[in-house]
Amino acid sequence: MRFTTARLCGGKSFMAIPAEAAELDLPAAAAALEKAGIRIQQQDEMMLVFQWNGLETTLYPQGKVMFFPLEDRALCIKYATDLLGMLI
């Protein structure tokens, strides 16, 4: 999967944005993450928030993934690829 990235929160966060349209089923994604031992901290129809590799991670239905704190673009893309690979 290809991504573009955006720097957020004064450079303390990175968001990976899929280059191709994606539509995630957040309840199914939450169930898959919980099955993998990841505790969901917040869940609603717009996002999931959980810890991923020591980072606060927010997953959106469009396949966007935000990592905080993270300042490394390449690591953002790697983590997003790994995470979405579990869910798609």
Q: When comparing pLDDT for 87 and 4, which is higher? A: 87
Residue type, 41: Q
CA–CA separation, 21 vs 19, rounded Å? 7
CA–CA separation, 12 vs 69, rounded Å? 5
The string of pLDDT tens digits covering residues 8-63 is 777 899 999 999 878 999 999 999 999 999 999 999 999 999 999 999 999 999 99
Ordered domains of the chain (ranges, CATH): 3-87 (3.30.310)
Predicted pLDDT of residue 7 = 82
> The whole model's pTM is what?
0.91
**Cis? peptide before 61, omega within 30° of 0:** no
CA dihedral 1, 45, 39, 24 (to 10 degrees): -20
Predicted pLDDT of residue 30 = 97
pLDDT reading at 1 higher than 90:
no
Q: If we measure between CA atoms, which residue out of 73, 67, 61 comes closest to residue 22? A: 61
